[in-house]
Structure 1
Amino acid sequence: MSVLSGKKIILGVSGGIAAYKTAFLVRLFIKAGAHVQVIMTPASKDFVTPLTLSTLSKNPVFSTFFNEEDENAVWNNHVDLALWADYIVIAPATANTMSKMVNGNCDNLLIATYLSAKCPVYIAPAMDLDMYKHPSTTTNFQAFSKFGNTIIPAEDGELASGLSGEGRMAEPENIVAFLEKDIASKLPLKGKKILITAGPTYEAIDPVRFIGNHSSGKMGFDIALAAEKLGAQVTLITGPTHLEVKNSNIHIVRVVSALEMYNACHNHFENVDVAIAAAAVADYRPINIAQQKIKKSETTLNIELEKTKDILSSLGDIKKNQFLIGFALETENEIENAKLKIQKKNLDLIVLNSLNDEGAGFGKSTNKVTFIDKNFKIEPQKLKSKEAVALDIINKIISHYA
């Protein structure tokens, strides 16, 4: 499976004859499983039509900040576009466009998006051989290197001028191959298999009612997305939740009860490098499950409960080289209880949540955690979005394998 699968790519097309090749490039990106948004400079539309690229990318093509023919049109927000993208590819990148990119001459939507980007940017130059070798072009290449942008080298061949030499835009299949190789080489978790649990479990009382909790699963889902983005092969075992992951690189196993989650974890644990137990698993379940809905007849109802199997402890008992991360949600004696859990369950790291902290806990978009490792090193964190906390957890894994 291509490392581009599920990735969001902005293809920036500038005004050179090589723009005709972008139709083939879009098709290859789509075939690799990427989501493609095309942004064209006004001049590029003289070489390839927006209709062609829109049809192939299955998205509207953007070229201006707003639709001049519709006075009520919503503007095309270059900041939102830049934040949407996992990667930006400028192909072809003409001498004129590259000069604007280097000097911040922001006179079109593509340049504005480029200047707003925080993601990796790849540049595929296309120009005649003397332009390609001109000192100003060399200076621009050096500037891109300082910016952290990556040049996809031009190829040697016949040029539009009739001359033959270096300056020809790399062929679409070579651009895709370059991206795949370069991206894969920079993914710190490439080759690592990570098991993540998420969400609540529901323990049936009768066919209608259950014992559960308020976990949304968002923390575990965010960890899964962060891990996959950095190259990991992810298996996400989730209890009942409304959340979805539209990413074919993440294998989702849906369960309901604690026993189902226990079995699923043990089916996968032996073959993973890392396990992160972010699910809020029920501690108890009814001993007897009524086969019919319990009628509301008495003023009280007694349900006898038994402990569920401790998934995290059972994984700690059988772990070999796996890096095992647990979560703890506490309301009192937080640090001491978390340390005991590290020892009892043979954990390498625990992520401590306290319901006493504002903005932490179930159903929130934020979390405030404390990291405690097996040597009892304590690292309190500030209140952050769950996405940011997920990345912090993934960085702990990267540091472990560094």
Structure 2
Amino acid sequence: MSESNTSATVITEQAPQHSRLSRLYTGTGAFEIVGRRRVYYAITGVVMLICLLSIVFRGFTLGIDFEGGSKISLPAADNVTTAQVEAVYAEALGTEPVSVQTVGSGSSSTIQIRSEALTLQEAATLTDALYDAFQPVDSSGNPSRNEISTSDVSETWGSQITKKALIALAVFLVLVSLYITVRYERDMALAALAALVFDLVVTAGLYSIVGLEVTPATVIGLLTILGFSLYDSVVVFDKVEENTRGVLHLNRRTYGEQANLAINQTLMRSINTTVIGILPVIGLLVVAVWLLGVGTLKDLAVVQLVGMIVGAYSSIFFATPLLVSIKERWGPVAAHTKKVLARREQAETGAAAKTTAASPAGATAAGVRVANTTATLDRPAGNAAERSAREARTGAPRPGARPTGKRQKKRH
């Protein structure tokens, strides 16, 4: 290939464009989370407001353990449906049951009726009506009245569980606050507690909005998700502490920018932890609903599934941005942030001025100034009379004048 062809061939090399997934794995700080914290604050506030309104005005669907009542169970035959059971109940007692549902699958499935507290006479009347309508059989295949069971649950048991759960929650929050304050600092403890409150309100609000039944298993699951949410927040805070160590002695990056880098560096870890934690919960939910039909397992799995997702959101998009907002409101971090931003603005202003001077418009203006100066220097001093008068005063010949006679004789 000739030299002209070689010079005509132009190879353009472009910088490699990294995908979002690649930036997510490398954690280079490409995702702006702290800088857009007002957007996430707005989302968090709207979600919390909706959940609080639902809790206040809609309330919860409390289980029999909290409200008390009677629970009647009978084997679920192939030709028995929940609608038929509700009809028999209404005909026998003249009222509607609170709920009727099928629990379990296969030969071990049962139909559970939940109602208000029944007297002994009402329970006997309902048992006779159910036996006459469905003829439940025992393990030997013979119809048996003993296959229909009735149990009463007092609301005091549920209230005791609620009281103990609230005490455990208070102790947990106090211990967590002390640990984070000692291990990290006070501002991190405030941000972590705010994230825990968000997790509790949103999880409880979703139960209220959807109308899921609140049972003792739900309360236990609610306490377990607090530990998961706290763990995720502490992991991010640990990286924030590492990145911001000594940042006040530097003038290149602010505390918020270093915290945003920490979120990016732990973002993939938070996602992996959440996914790995959700998978067994989903498996538990599948086993509880489709295979065994155990209501306790279902209640526990649902609250954990919701809590893990909400906890992952709060640790990434709420806890750390809130920490930065607290830090930048007062104290040395606030002063350092203002100084860094002022220096950065001053540097940008200087760069803009240099760019303007180096632009074609600036060069043209400079050329005009040089041309004007040159024209001034090269301009004639005046007419012939003025030049003669100046020569007479100074004794210097004008340019191009012939020498005088005396000087000619001197030369000869």
User: So what's the TM-score if we normalise by structure 2?
Assistant: 0.23
Q: Tell which structure's C-alpha radius of gyration is larger.
A: 2
More strand by share: 1
User: So what's the TM-score if we normalise by structure 1?
Assistant: 0.23
